[in-house]
Structures are given as structure tokens and as C-alpha cells.
A and B are shown apart, each in its own frame.
Chain A
């Protein structure tokens, strides 16, 4: 009798839990979800914001057919992200799920007004991954998302996964995530930043910027004529949550060098033997590089000693990279060039942007005994008084395969 009662009790318990947990299971069932892979936020004419969602419709699995995934973009004007999601839930008759959202795009206009509310809201959502990339678009976020058509990938979500990796070998963009942005918002010695996105000039119809160096390009004004539509070159700099400026490709390289986030990059430096031409060098930062920050007479004095290994990439007729004097001359030219661009970058962030986007404040925080001392010093405001002393030591050892022609 006891055994029967026990069994009945167990069955009742199982039934109760089945009913209780069924709602969560049903709501999170794949059939009921629509996975957002990109989210765009623009200024709206009628409401607070215009939110664009990008989805991938799974390909049909009919035997013998080879259909591609269909990409769908839809926008809605709403007063908040949550409301926009709610309206779209009704529109699609599915629950929008952000757990596969790879990029979050803000238009320049909305970024200039401040985006902390959106960042806090998104970080409050358990579905949003902290590793989702954050982009400020030179054009509308909606146009950016709709223009995104990866030419070398079958899957757009794979493209979103992979494109930030190019920062490691070009240095032309940075892997900015919403997690890092959120962390920088509440940090008192650094400022947030995002990837700078745009639509290629050939697609947007705008004229390209003429007479700029190859490395001075940035999203929205690059010399690319391609089929992909969007480009991600450069980065957007914030002061707290407001967009204060943009960095072009070479400035982003400088940012990545100082953050130690780039494995190698190619730069064009003046040819020491010919004033009118450039040499391309393949540069690898060395780990012994050092940043030292001191407070001198109340102002930050920032000493940057960086070391690079490099190889000459561009070869012409009658080149000789076996000669010690020639290599030394190229090294000196490379040193001068890097010192110049790094100094320009640093003074631009301190005096023009007034934003320690590189996070140099962390190198001085050890000089303060307590948090109160550091807060009293007010690093973020004092950064504008910084003096930079950049010393670069590059060792160019040879060409890559050809050392003499």
C-alpha cells in the first residue's frame, strides 16, 4: 500500500513539474523563436528610435535542392528597444531572440546624442551576448544592415563572426564588443569605442575622398569599389556615451599598437633614397614595448617606448636589403613615420577628442594610493593636458623572400 502511495505521489509531482515548466519550455522552443543576427538603431522621425532587425530564414531542406539562407530585414519605429521587439513579436508571430545577435549598429546621429541607455538596456537582456560587436555607422543603421551582403561567405552570421578578426593582421579596425563598451562606460580611466562602419562609396553614390594616403581611409570614404556593400575601417571614439570623433585606418593601427591588439600590419613609409616614393613594410610589434605614465606638475607625462621587427614588403628593380646602411636608413624612416603617426594620434585623442580611448590611465593608477586620490585627480579631465614622448625602435632585417634585385 505504501509503495503504491509513493508511486502515485511521484507521478503527481512529475505532472506538477511538467505543467509548471511547460510554459518556459514552450516559450523557448525553437519553433516559436525568430533569431535576430543584427540589430540597428537609428533616430526616428515619429518616435524615439527606429530599430532594424536582421534575420536569417533557414534554407529549405527539400531533397536535391540547394537553396541559400534568405536574409530578412525589417524596421520599426518605437520609443524603446523593448517596445520595438514587442511590436515585431506580434508582426512575426514569433518571439524575437537576441542570443545570436552578432552586431549592434548605431547611426552616427544617435551615437552623438549618447547611447548609454541603449547599452544598459541591452546588457540587461540575458539573451544579448557580451561578445556582440558594436558598430557606429556613417550612414543609417538600417541602410548599413540592408547593404551588408558578404561576397565570400555563404552565411551572413559567419561573416559577422569573422570580420573583426581582420583587426589582428591589418589593424584597420578593432574588435569592439558591447561587453567592453559597457565596461568602459563605468571605468574611470578609459573611454568607450566602437567599430566605424559604412557603405562603400560605389554603393552609396557619394564621391570618394581624393588625394588621401592609402592608410588615411575610413568607412564611408574609402576607395573601395566592391560588391560587398559595407566596409568596416576605422573606429568611433566616445567621451562617456557620446560620439566625439572618428579615427581613420592608420590612427586605428596606432590604437591597436598601443592596446597591443595587433599581431602585424603593413604601412607605407617614405623611401629614404627617394623622397617621392614610399616603401611598404610588414611590421610586427615586439612584446618588450613599454608605456610609462607619470604626473609631472599636475599634468600627465606619457612616455611610450615601442619596439618593432619589420621586413620590407615592396621591392623594386635595383633594391638591396642586404646592405647594413640601407636597412638602417629604412629603419630610421620607419621610426620617424611611426613616431609621427603615433604622436598625432595621441594628441588627437587628448586635445581634439578629450577622450582617453586608449585607456592610458591604467598605467598611472598604481601611483595613487587610494581610489579617492585617483578620483580627486580626475584622470579623464586631466588627460587633455598630457604630454607625449614617443620613441620607436624598429629593426628592419631584410626583405621577405627577395633581399636583392
Chain B
């Protein structure tokens, strides 16, 4: 990874690629269920807070140019502290990617492969990631750069194609379940901006480290816009008091799109784009985990580590007994985990800045 430096645009796309598949699979639904009709206000509020967090991260990183969170944690507490922080991040990256892989594959199985064992559907993704990682990180980044505009187009098409089915009155009552739910309990939705956790590893990867400020702020801002677009589509489309839960809700939205009686059934195209986008996310996640392991164990060659991590991802993806466990993780654990990681990073950065200040 250290040999493949990222341009500013590529770095922004990388952060967005982390968030996009989650939003498409389940986050939009989770956010609506949490805050009901006030979800759009909540997202704007959360985006502003995340922008402040991104700016804070940039400020705290300013004194450590070219270093990532592991280097900084080594500076703060030595190797032991670095290893602890490293393993926490690996745990987060592997667990989230495994569970979301399982969730996405469950959706694919329901729609297209009803008679195929889930093991093979997951294995297909695992092999795809193994191949992309042997081709190098650049190939993943380039694929992300190509596929992400298509992903954006698919989300815009979802919105525009369903305008006839929208009821804009669904943003009312404006406070949703109340002020407290929207602005206090709704703070947990900060965890939906999972891309922030990847910002901690970006500085050494940037071609122009000085542009870390633009990368962090723009990526959070665009993430907010992306989430708003997805959530608005879902909110205007379906009743917020939905007591039912749908697998891949945005896929359900895509089934409503019809332009006359000739242009119908766009969902297959959408699913193809989302599948490639999901592969990009998994590949990025595995690559980051590999690099953390490489730093922890001071390895020169990390090329074989990826296979171990992939086997681990595969095994964890198979662990949930049924969809309810995946759903529980998506709705209850994931956001809190992301939130904890975001604030852990800030905590380490604050400690390092204090140490630097104390040391003169």
C-alpha cells in the first residue's frame, strides 16, 4: 500500500466507497427506523457534526505529517499501545466487512440464487477479493474510480425514476419521534459515517499530504449528501411507520422504476453496480487490515497475509446462524462500533498532541 500513493480525488472516492455499500444494503433503513420522519434533519445535523470531527482529525494530524494512527499510537504508548490500537481496528474492519458480506450475499441469494448454498455465494466474493489484491491496490483504486460514478448515477436514477411514487409529505411530522430522539439519541447515527475510521490511515497514502484537509472534509460532506439521497428515496417512497423489514430496501425501491411499458426491471443493473462496488469496499477493507498487520509485526512482505485475512472473513461471514443475527449487528452493533472507533482515534490523537505539547 505504501508504494501506491493516492491522489486527492482517489482518496475521497476511497472513503465514499466504504460508506456506499452499507448505505445501499441497510443503513438507510436503520436510520429511518431510528428517527422516523425527522431522519433528513438528523442526517444534516449529523453531517455537520461529522464535518467538525473531520476538521478536528485534520487539525490533530497536522503535527504528525505523513503518519497514520498506528505510528501516532506508538509515539503515545510504545509498541504495546500500537498493537492494541492496531488489533482493535483490524477487528473492526474484519468483523464489519464479514457481516456485511453475509448480509449482501443473503440478499443476492434471495433474489437470484435461491437454490445455491450461501457458502458458494460468499466464496465468489472472497475469490474476487483475493484476485484483486494480487493485482495490487492500484487496481482496486482504479476500479473504485470507474465504478463509483456509476453507483452515483444508479442512486440518482433511483430518486428520479421514482419521483411519481414519492410523497414528500412523509418528512412530516418534522420532529419525528421528538427532539430528544432526533438530536440526542440520533447522535448514534454518527456511526453511519464509517469512512471516518479509514481517514486515520490515509495520511501516509496521499500523494499530497497537505491536501488531507480537503480529503477529510470533502469526503464527509459527500458522504452526507450520498446518505441524504439514499434515505430521502426510501423515506418518500415507503411509509415510515413500516413495521416490516425488507432485505436490501433500496433494491425494493429499484423494482418500482418503470419508464413506460418498455423500460422496466432496472434492478438487475443496479444490483450489478452495487455488487462491483461492494467488492471494491471489501478489497479496500482487507488491504487496510493487511497493512495494519504488517506494521504490527514489522513484516517486509504482506502479500500472503491477505489470504489469511480472507479465510478469516469467510469464516466470520458464515458464523451468523440466520438473518436476524446479521440484522441485529447492522441495526444495533455496527453504528456503536463505528462511533467507538471514531472517538478512539480522536482520543489517541488528542493524547499524542498533548504529549507533543508537553515535550515542547
Contacts and interface: CB of A to CB of B under 8 A. Distances in A.
A389 B111 CA distance: 49
A16 B124 CA distance: 11
Interface stretch (B61-69, B255-263, B316-324): B255-263
A126 B113 contact: no
A20 interface: yes
A152 interface: no
A330 B168 CA distance: 36
A13 B165 CA distance: 44
B255 A129 contact: yes
12 contacts: A17-B124, A24-B114, A130-B256, A131-B258, A162-B261, A179-B256, A186-B243, A187-B241, A188-B239, A362-B169, A363-B169, A372-B177
**List of 10 A-B pairs having minimum Cβ-Cβ separation, nearest first:** A20-B120, A362-B169, A23-B115, A366-B172, A365-B172, A24-B113, A187-B239, A368-B173, A24-B116, A24-B115
Contacts of A72: none
Contacts of A120: 244
Contacts of B116: 20-21, 23-24
Contacts of B29: none
B267 to A, nearest CB: 10
Interface in B174-215: 174-178
Contacts of A363: 169
B25 to A, nearest CB: 16
Given A363-B169, A365-B169, A374-B173, 9 more contacts: A20-B116, A23-B116, A130-B256, A131-B264, A366-B173, A368-B173, A369-B174, A371-B36, A372-B178
B282 to A, nearest CB: 18
Contacts of B178: 370, 372
Interface in B94-140: 110-117, 120, 123-124, 127
A368 B115 contact: no
Interface residues of chain B: helix, strand, loop or mixed (majority) = loop
B37 interface: yes
Contacts of B165: 179
**B37, B115, B120 pick with most chain A CB within 10 angstroms:** B115
A183 B115 contact: no
B120 A21 contact: yes
Contacts of A74: none
Contact of A27 (B114, B173, B175): B114
Nearest to B243: A186
Contact of A186 (B127, B173, B241): B241
Contacts of A187: 239, 241
Interface string A344-388: 000000000000000000110110111111100000000000000
Contact of A370 (B110, B111, B177): B177
Interface in B211-249: 238-244
A188 B241 contact: yes
Nearest to B110: A126
A192 to B, nearest CB: 12
A330 to B, nearest CB: 34
A161 interface: yes
A230 B175 CA distance: 48
Nearest to B114: A24
Contacts of B79: none
A23 B243 CA distance: 34
A176 to B, nearest CB: 13
A344 B61 CA distance: 70
B133 to A, nearest CB: 16
B167 interface: yes
Contacts of A162: 261
Nearest to A13: B127
Contacts of B120: 16-17, 20-21
B169 A366 contact: yes
A186 B111 CA distance: 24
Contacts of A16: 120
Contacts of A372: 177-178
A161 to B, nearest CB: 5
A120 B242 CA distance: 12
A277 B208 CA distance: 83
Contact of B176 (A20, A366, A370): A370
A362 B258 CA distance: 25
A365 B115 contact: no
B239 A186 contact: yes
A372 B176 CA distance: 8
A2 to B, nearest CB: 14
B292 to A, nearest CB: 28
Interface in B332-360: none
A370 B37 CA distance: 9
Contacts of A179: 165, 256
Nearest to A26: B115
Contact of A183 (B37, B176, B238): B238
Nearest to A158: B261
Nearest to B257: A131
Interface in B27-54: 36-37
A126 B177 CA distance: 32
Interface in A10-51: 13, 16-17, 20-21, 23-24, 27
Nearest to A373: B173
Nearest to A123: B244
A120 to B, nearest CB: 8
Nearest to A27: B115
A20 B117 contact: yes
B169 A371 contact: no
A179 B112 CA distance: 21
A328 B140 CA distance: 71
Interface in A157-197: 161-162, 179, 183, 186-188
A183 B239 contact: yes
B36 to A, nearest CB: 6
A374 B172 CA distance: 10
Contacts of A27: 114-115
